[in-house]
């Protein structure tokens, strides 16, 4: 049975802006769910409804079988870590962590031991007497996490807690959040626009778009079997080839006058317009030798982006433009301007019905950050 | 004095000019106050002694200080929650409140007192006939712009929404959030507002005079009309008293800040 349920939540703001358009979420006790999506997709609105800072126009929020839709935020027992630094500036780190316990009337001894325990848990046992302005951004968010956990919340809510931190601290802290979450077995709802972050820490990921959940599932499934073009593009980078099913038996599709074999196209309707999605890391590039070959497209390398162990190459050809991730060592043999042959995998490509490709497209993403 | 590297010598020149503009009148008043009432020659502290022996001096000073305290307390009780609420729930009303806060600047005190005397006519005598009632109410109105703009700046310097939501998510009620989280973080603004209110009440003459309440400014005026040297002494004493009161407020208000600093130092 689900521990936290969001049932058909709707929320519309002034001016007819639909922030949530009937989202459904079921989260088991101790699970970690990330709400992932671009800015304005409604993920923070959903979190705020769960926290009680806003009320839905329609729908219910249920925790452990009890409807809490109209319960005041102070009575919900939710621990929350905010995007903005939210420590109380007039209190030290220890006093911040102690705040919720004082409100609950815990005894001084109990408070002191719990505060010490939690500060140790987040690696700040030595910094209890420091004030927020004496802590770095990462440390402040750790204290905020300890403060949220101090009250032993029923659900831990995290609203893009790492977005203001630098890349290294972000990775470090997200691993710590996951470690602590697993250690305490606390049900967690995490909001982020960073797909890498969501995939790294979650049991379940829900990709949101325009107030709706496009797909929900384990990270590996979201990456390997995206249900919509939007999800496919939002999670990782995808090559999109609009094609027509030429032979459903062999899985042959036609794209720009070239025949390609894609296993996932088997069994579809002949003549159906589809979108073939191919991950850049599955595209194999070799210097063109004029022989062509099966399942290949030809083109010219026009750009290289160094990403560390891999380099991303942009290939422009008569039939399609492609992005391919190759090892940095191999990229050195494929300089800008070189004619190449791109071999497309028959087995790893995903095929989706082409309904409205323009509308379904995920927002432009940073090619390095994906 | 040797100029520090990077500090232009002209800075000291302007500092000197500004200092002179501030201190020369005080010095002149001080020298004037030391003259003898009988001979008109320097130097005697007789004017100061005379002022300190006036019963009205202590009586009106007590009234004005208590009135200032009352005005500060009432104003903070009214304006802190109101401005907090405006910032949190109806930020679009902020310009409206700011406009309302400007009205006491626009309406001259002489007009205001006539209006207030008329409006409050018929109210119980414990209010209408007492400085703690009528005069305090008038001073709260007079202090509104100073309170509003100081507190507004304080609220704008903190993330009211996030702090409130963080406090509530930890189980705090509205009053607890206001008292334990918001108020300590706008303490400087509340202190500044209190200083200004204190200064206004200690110097306000028109309303007190027209409504016939004996306050410290009225005593100063009465002395000023009758005796020149004691008036100068009284002016300086009033100046010192107001600054002393402000300093006390500052010390009281900064007690907690000192604790934070001590903890920091102990680290």
- Answer yes or no: is pLDDT of A358 > 50: no
pLDDT digits (tens, 9 = 90+) for B77-94: 999 999 999 999 999 999
For B173, which residue in chain A has the nearest alpha carbon? Answer: A74
Rounded distance between C-alpha atoms, residue B152 and residue B192, angstroms: 11
Check residue B31 and give its pLDDT: 92
pLDDT digits (tens, 9 = 90+) for B142-201: 999 999 999 999 999 999 999 999 999 999 999 999 999 999 999 989 988 998 999 899
H helices within A62-194, ranges in order? 93-103, 108-121, 137-150, 167-184
pLDDT digits (tens, 9 = 90+) for B43-76: 888 889 998 999 999 999 999 999 999 999 999 9
pLDDT digits (tens, 9 = 90+) for A166-179: 888 888 889 989 99
Question: What average pLDDT does range A216-232 have in this prediction?
Answer: 89
B159 contacts chain A (CB < 8 A):
yes
Q: Which has the closest alpha carbon to A256: A276, A245, A241?
A: A241
- B chain contacts of residue A129, beta-carbon cutoff 8 Å: 263-264, 266-267
Cβ contact, residue pair A99, B184, below 8 Å: no
Question: Which of B162, B256, B263 lies nearest to residue A86, judging by beta carbons?
Answer: B162
Check residue A368 and give its pLDDT: 34
pLDDT digits (tens, 9 = 90+) for B98-148: 999 999 888 888 898 889 888 888 888 888 888 899 999 999 999 999 999
pLDDT digits (tens, 9 = 90+) for A273-287: 998 999 999 999 999
Check residue A209 and give its pLDDT: 93
Question: Which of B158, B163, B171 lies nearest to residue A74, judging by beta carbons?
Answer: B171
Question: What average pLDDT does range A115-121 have in this prediction?
Answer: 92
Percentage of residues of chain A with pLDDT beyond 90? 61
Taking a C-beta distance cutoff of 8 angstroms, is the pair A325, A315 a contact?
A: no
**Domain residue ranges of chain A, discontinuous segments joined by +:** 4-229, 237-360
Taking a C-beta distance cutoff of 8 angstroms, is the pair A244, A271 a contact?
A: yes
Where in the sequence is the domain holding B188, given as residue range(s)? 65-214
Binned at pLDDT 50, 70 and 90, residue B254 comes out as low
DSSP-assigned letters across all residues of B97-166? HHHHHHHHHHS-HHHHHHHHHHHTTTS-HHHHTSIIIIIHHHHHHHHHHHHHHHHHHHHHTS-HHHHHHH
- Residues 6 or more apart whose CB falls under 8 angstroms from that of A120 comprise none
- Answer yes or no: is pLDDT of B245 > 90: no
Check residue A34 and give its pLDDT: 95
The pTM of this model reads 0.81
Interface pTM, i.e. ipTM: 0.81
Cβ contact, residue pair A90, B162, below 8 Å: no
Taking a C-beta distance cutoff of 8 angstroms, is the pair B215, B204 a contact?
A: yes
Half-sphere CA count of A153, side-chain side, radius 13 A = 31
For residue B239 the two structure tokens come to 């100046």
Check residue B5 and give its pLDDT: 62
Rounded distance between C-alpha atoms, residue A96 and residue B185, angstroms: 14
CATH number for B99 = 1.10.3720.10
Select the residue from B169, B256, B260 to test the A interface by mutation, using most A Cβ atoms within 10 A. Answer: B169
For residue B71 the two structure tokens come to 């005005």
Rounded distance between C-alpha atoms, residue B41 and residue B36, angstroms: 5
Rounded distance between C-alpha atoms, residue B202 and residue B55, angstroms: 18
Query: What is the least distance, in Å, from the CA of A126 to any CA of chain B?
Result: 9
- Answer yes or no: is pLDDT of B37 > 60: yes
Check residue B42 and give its pLDDT: 80
How many residues would you count in chain B? Answer: 267
Please report whether residue B162 resides in a domain: yes
Check residue A140 and give its pLDDT: 93
Binned at pLDDT 50, 70 and 90, residue B263 comes out as very low
B1 contacts chain A (CB < 8 A):
no
Question: What average pLDDT does range A311-334 have in this prediction?
Answer: 91
- Answer yes or no: is pLDDT of B256 > 70: no
Taking a C-beta distance cutoff of 8 angstroms, is the pair B200, B245 a contact?
A: no
Cβ contact, residue pair A99, B167, below 8 Å: yes
Which one-letter DSSP state was computed for residue A324?
A: E
Percentage of residues of chain B with pLDDT beyond 70? 92
- Answer yes or no: is pLDDT of B253 > 90: no
pLDDT digits (tens, 9 = 90+) for A12-70: 998 888 999 999 999 999 999 999 999 889 999 999 999 999 999 999 999 999 999 99
Unique residue bearing structure tokens 């977005």: A163
Query: What is the least distance, in Å, from the CA of A234 to any CA of chain B?
Result: 29
Check residue B265 and give its pLDDT: 32
- Answer yes or no: is pLDDT of A357 > 70: no
Average pLDDT, chain B: 87
Taking a C-beta distance cutoff of 8 angstroms, is the pair A186, A132 a contact?
A: no
Query: What is the least distance, in Å, from the CA of A332 to any CA of chain B?
Result: 50
Please report whether residue B266 resides in a domain: no
Check residue A17 and give its pLDDT: 87
Binned at pLDDT 50, 70 and 90, residue B4 comes out as low
- Residues 6 or more apart whose CB falls under 8 angstroms from that of A103 comprise B170, B171, B172, B176
Number of domains forming the structure of chain B: 1
- B chain contacts of residue A92, beta-carbon cutoff 8 Å: 260, 263
CATH number of A237-360: 2.40.50.100
CATH class of the A4-229 domain in this structure: alpha beta
- Answer yes or no: is pLDDT of A292 > 70: no
Question: What average pLDDT does range A294-305 have in this prediction?
Answer: 90
Binned at pLDDT 50, 70 and 90, residue B255 comes out as low
Taking a C-beta distance cutoff of 8 angstroms, is the pair A60, A7 a contact?
A: yes
Domains A4-229 and A237-360 share a fold: no
Select the residue from B166, B254, B256, B264 to test the A interface by mutation, using most A Cβ atoms within 10 A. Answer: B166
Q: Which residues pair with A23 in a beta bridge?
A: A9
Check residue A305 and give its pLDDT: 93
- Answer yes or no: is pLDDT of B257 > 50: no
- Residues 6 or more apart whose CB falls under 8 angstroms from that of A182 comprise none
- A chain contacts of residue B180, beta-carbon cutoff 8 Å: 99
For A130, which residue in chain B has the nearest alpha carbon? Answer: B264
Average pLDDT, chain A: 89
Mode of pairing for the β-strands spanning A321-327 and A284-287:
unpaired
Handedness of CA B213, B219, B220, B226 (dihedral sign): positive
Check residue B69 and give its pLDDT: 94
Q: For residue A260, what are the CA distances in angstroms to A209, A241, A276, A293, A320?
A: 31, 11, 10, 11, 12
Q: Which residues pair with A25 in a beta bridge?
A: A6
Binned at pLDDT 50, 70 and 90, residue B267 comes out as very low
B243 contacts chain A (CB < 8 A):
no
Check residue A365 and give its pLDDT: 41
Query: What is the least distance, in Å, from the CA of A90 to any CA of chain B?
Result: 6
For residue B183 the two structure tokens come to 């108020």
Rounded distance between C-alpha atoms, residue B174 and residue B201, angstroms: 32
pLDDT digits (tens, 9 = 90+) for A230-276: 898 888 888 988 899 999 988 899 888 888 999 988 989 898 999 89
Handedness of CA B90, B95, B98, B104 (dihedral sign): negative
Cβ contact, residue pair A86, B165, below 8 Å: yes
Binned at pLDDT 50, 70 and 90, residue A201 comes out as very high
For B256, which residue in chain A has the nearest alpha carbon? Answer: A90
For A81, which residue in chain B has the nearest alpha carbon? Answer: B166
Ranges of beta strands (E only) in A307-364 are: 310-316, 321-327, 339-343, 350-353
Please report whether residue B46 resides in a domain: no
Please report whether residue B149 resides in a domain: yes
Please report whether residue B45 resides in a domain: no
């Amino acid at each position: 049975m689900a521990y936290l349920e969001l049932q058909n939540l709707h929320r519309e703001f002034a001016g007819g802006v639909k922030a949530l358009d009937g989202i459904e979420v079921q989260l088991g006790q101790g699970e970690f769910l990330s709400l992932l999506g671009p800015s304005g997709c409604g993920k923070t609105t959903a979190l705020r409804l769960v926290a009680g800072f806003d009320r839905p126009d329609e729908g219910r929020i249920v925790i452990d079988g009890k409807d809490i839709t109209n319960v005041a935020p102070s009575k919900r027992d939710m621990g929350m870590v905010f995007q903005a630094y939210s420590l109380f500036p007039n209190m030290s780190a220890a006093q911040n962590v102690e705040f919720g316990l004082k409100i609950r009337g815990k005894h001084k001894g109990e408070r002191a031991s719990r505060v010490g325990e939690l500060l140790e848990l987040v690696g700040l046992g030595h910094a209890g007497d420091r004030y927020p302005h004496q802590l770095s951004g990462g440390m402040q968010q750790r204290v905020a996490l300890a403060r949220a956990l101090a009250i032993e919340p029923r659900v831990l809510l995290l609203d893009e807690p790492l977005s203001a931190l630098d890349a290294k601290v972000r990775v470090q802290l997200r691993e710590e959040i996951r470690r602590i979450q697993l250690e305490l077995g606390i049900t967690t709802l995490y909001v982020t626009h960073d797909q890498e972050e969501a995939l790294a820490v979650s049991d379940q990921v829900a990709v949101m778009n325009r107030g709706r959940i496009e797909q929900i599932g384990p990270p590996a499934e979201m990456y390997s079997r995206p249900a919509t073009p939007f999800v496919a593009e939002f999670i990782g980078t995808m090559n999109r080839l609009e094609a027509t099913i030429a032979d459903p038996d062999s899985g042959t599709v036609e794209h720009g006058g070239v025949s390609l074999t894609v296993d996932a196209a088997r069994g579809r309707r002949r003549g159906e317009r589809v979108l073939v999605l191919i991950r850049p890391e599955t595209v194999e590039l070799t210097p063109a030798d004029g022989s062509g070959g099966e399942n290949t497209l030809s083109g010219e390398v026009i750009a290289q982006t160094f990403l560390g162990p891999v380099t991303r190459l942009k290939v422009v050809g008569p039939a399609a433009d492609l992005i391919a991730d190759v090892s940095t060592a191999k990229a050195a043999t494929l300089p800008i301007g070189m004619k190449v042959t791109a071999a497309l995998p028959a087995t790893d490509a995903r095929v989706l019905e082409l309904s409205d490709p323009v509308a379904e497209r995920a927002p432009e993403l940073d090619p390095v950050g994906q | 004095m040797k100029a520090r590297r990077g500090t232009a010598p002209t800075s000291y020149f302007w500092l000197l000019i500004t200092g002179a503009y501030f201190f020369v009148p005080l010095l002149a008043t001080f020298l004037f106050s030391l003259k003898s009432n009988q001979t008109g020659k320097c130097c005697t502290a007789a004017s100061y002694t005379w002022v300190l022996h006036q019963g009205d001096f202590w009586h009106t000073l007590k009234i004005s200080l208590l009135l200032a305290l009352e005005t500060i307390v009432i104003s903070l009780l009214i304006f802190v929650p109101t401005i907090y609420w405006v910032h949190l729930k109806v930020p679009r009303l902020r310009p409206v409140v700011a406009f309302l806060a400007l009205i006491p600047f626009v309406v001259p005190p002489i007009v205001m007192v006539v209006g207030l005397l008329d409006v409050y006519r018929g109210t119980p005598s414990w209010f209408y006939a007492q400085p703690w009632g009528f005069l305090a109410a008038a001073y709260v109105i007079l202090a509104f712009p100073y309170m509003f703009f100081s507190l507004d700046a304080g609220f704008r310097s903190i993330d009211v929404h996030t702090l409130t939501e963080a406090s509530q998510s930890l189980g705090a009620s509205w009053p607890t959030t206001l008292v334990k989280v918001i108020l300590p973080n706008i303490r400087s603004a509340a202190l500044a507002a209190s200083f200004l209110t204190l200064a206004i009440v200690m110097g306000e003459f028109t309303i007190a005079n027209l409504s016939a309440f004996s306050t410290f400014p009225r005593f100063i005026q009465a002395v000023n009309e009758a005796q020149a040297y004691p008036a100068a002494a009284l002016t300086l004493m009033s100046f010192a008293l107001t600054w002393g009161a402000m300093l006390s407020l500052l010390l009281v208000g900064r007690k907690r800040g000192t604790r934070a600093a001590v903890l920091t130092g102990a680290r």
